[in-house]
Structure 1
Amino acid sequence: MDLLKLKYFYTVAKYENVSSASKELLISQSALSKAIRTLEDELRMDLFYRSGKRISLNKNGEFLFTRVKQIFKELQYLEKALIEHREEDNGSLSIITTLPYIFTNLVDSFMEKYPNIHYQQVSLSKENLYNFIENGRYDICISASEFTHPNIKWIPLFEEEIFLTVPSTFPISNFNEIDLQHFKDTPFIGLSTNYSYRQFTDSLCLRYNFVPKYRVEVEEATTILQLIKNGKGVSFTPHTAIDLSEEKLKHLRIKNGPFTRKIGLLQHNNTYQAKIINKFIEHCHAYFKDIIKVQSK
């Protein structure tokens, strides 16, 4: 029994499909099937139930897969640790997020300290989140939604206020606080309903018996602010997305009740945590701590 045969078994067991496994391993299906049969002969036990082209792990296979999975996880950790040891502050950092403003500011300030890191922003889709939680595929997740799962840890960072943004020419823009009910007939501009931020703000509005009337729904957050400046409607803007130097917009506090969202990190419990990941987490804590200091002044 050698490591290569175990890798072949592990990949077939992971997919429970020889065709998918052969594509990942870049070998023919016949060669892969033969290698699995050889492994079974060496172990003197079958590892799969076979029904035509369909296969699934039997009890022997499940027993072996549990232990082989741990072996390859440790090998993956070793490989990452060796790369990290060799390259020190080089390497890569993949971050899942749907918070473009926060991601831009965090990475921009972190790059000043670690300019040689390769950064990758990954969209927070259901598929990518699943790969992160179940397989530890990406390094870290920045989210405005708290997730509970035994594989991950939620690290709260910041609770930010959400404002109602209106054109500076809007009659009520002279007020610092507003009641949402005054805007029941006002056209709103926002992200489409498949975005978590839109779903979140809609749920907050329902809490205060208010339903925004959306005139425009878009896919890009930057489009929203431009349309508001042009006087086409109003929208909800999180504190971290506010540009105080923009004179054509006014951001009004909502007095109906707490209109806030929590931002945090999702960290995987069962994957190798490279030094750069821990440094980025420390940077996030410091970044939001500075924001809190500014707000409290």
Structure 2
Amino acid sequence: MDLLSLRYFQAVARHEHISKAADELRIAQPSLSRTIARLEADLGVPLFDRHGRRIRLNRFGAAFLRRVDRALVELDDARRELTDAAGLTHGSVSLASEALLTITEPVKSFIAEHPGVAVRLFQAAPEVMAGRLSEGQVDFCLASEVLDGPGLGREELVREEVLLAVPLGHRLAGRREVTMADLAGEPVVTTRPGYWQRSLAERLFSEAGLELVVACEIDEATAAIEMVSAGLGVGFLPAWYLRSPLAALRAPFSPVRLAAPGAERVLRLFWREGAYVSEAARRFRDHLTASLMAA
């Protein structure tokens, strides 16, 4: 049993799928299968129930995974602590976020101030971020949805108004303000379930007693403006977008204030409580927090 086999087991347990885990680990599927088989032989018990090509973590595997997660997190924290002791010039920090455009400028200015710190960013859906954080794969997560999981701390960084984006020439274009009643029957461009835009749309339409008509469902929230501009429907966007330099580069649309209770986005930073936080990670957290709160 070695660390590499434990990390391979952790990936397979997370996906419960050999080929998906192999893709993530960038190794051949037969090699991964042999590693898991050797680990099971070493432990003397099967860790997965196998049904054809499908595998499921069994009770032995679930018990072993809990210990493996804790052990690998401790080892990763120890590595960070030693790197930290060697000085900030050798530090690193990792962050998962549902969208990277929000943090482009803060990351750019942090790297300029701390060129020796290695910054790693991952774009991930909210349901993936909590797992990465719990397993110690990232130091922080930035999300507009509340991440579920034991031992996760959080801090609210931004609470901002959400506007309605409508195509140019639309009946609502040019209005200073609209209500939810104005959106009755309007097709909506939004993300798939699990992202804040979809959660907000479902809640606002439900509270107004209206049916949400999804005209276009996307994974990349920034693509919503392109679809709105193309005339597929209306969409929701945070107020910061209008202040972003990217706004001038995107397809044209008409922003309209949405007069609806709770039409806002809350951006939060999440971390593992009790985990070691390196000097590089602390400085990055402070820089990111100050930048987003001042924006």
Q: Same fold (TM over 0.5)?
A: yes
Distance 1:210 1:23 in 2: 50
1:281 alignment partner in structure 2: 285
Mean CA deviation greater in 267-276 or 102-111: 102-111
Larger of the two Rg values belongs to structure: 1
1:295 alignment partner in structure 2: none
1:212 alignment partner in structure 2: 212
Deviations 1:84-129 (A, max 9, x none): 2325234432212212321333323322222342322141353442
CA RMSD, Structure 1 to Structure 2 (Å): 4.1
2:257 alignment partner in structure 1: 253
Deviations 1:13-59 (A, max 9, x none): x87x9xx9x969979939973xx7xxxxxxxxxxx8x58999977xx
Distance 1:264 1:195 in 2: 14
Distance 1:201 1:282 in 2: 32
2:38 alignment partner in structure 1: 29
Which aligned pairs between 1:1-297 and structure 2 lie closer than 5 A? 11=6, 29=38, 33=42, 75-116=75-116, 117-124=118-125, 126-133=127-134, 135-147=135-147, 149-193=149-193, 195-242=195-242, 246=248, 248-291=252-295
The code of the aligned residue for 1:219 comes to D
Counting aligned pairs with the same residue, the percent is 17
Q: 1:51 to 1:243 in 2, by over 3 A?
A: closer
Tell me if the contact between 2:95 and 2:141 (Cα under 8 Å) persists in the aligned partners: yes
Q: 1:279 to 1:201 in 2, by over 3 A?
A: farther
Gap regions ≥5 residues in structure 2: 14-20, 22-30, 50-57
Distance 1:213 1:280 in 2: 41
Shift in Å, 1:141: 0.6
Gap regions ≥5 residues in structure 1: 37-47, 292-297
Distance 1:217 1:72 in 2: 37
The code of the aligned residue for 1:290 comes to A
Q: 1:121 to 1:171 in 2, by over 3 A?
A: same
Q: 1:208 to 1:23 in 2, by over 3 A?
A: same
Mean CA deviation greater in 99-108 or 267-276: 99-108
TM-score, length of structure 1 as denominator length: 0.70
Tell me if the contact between 1:164 and 1:253 (Cα under 8 Å) persists in the aligned partners: yes
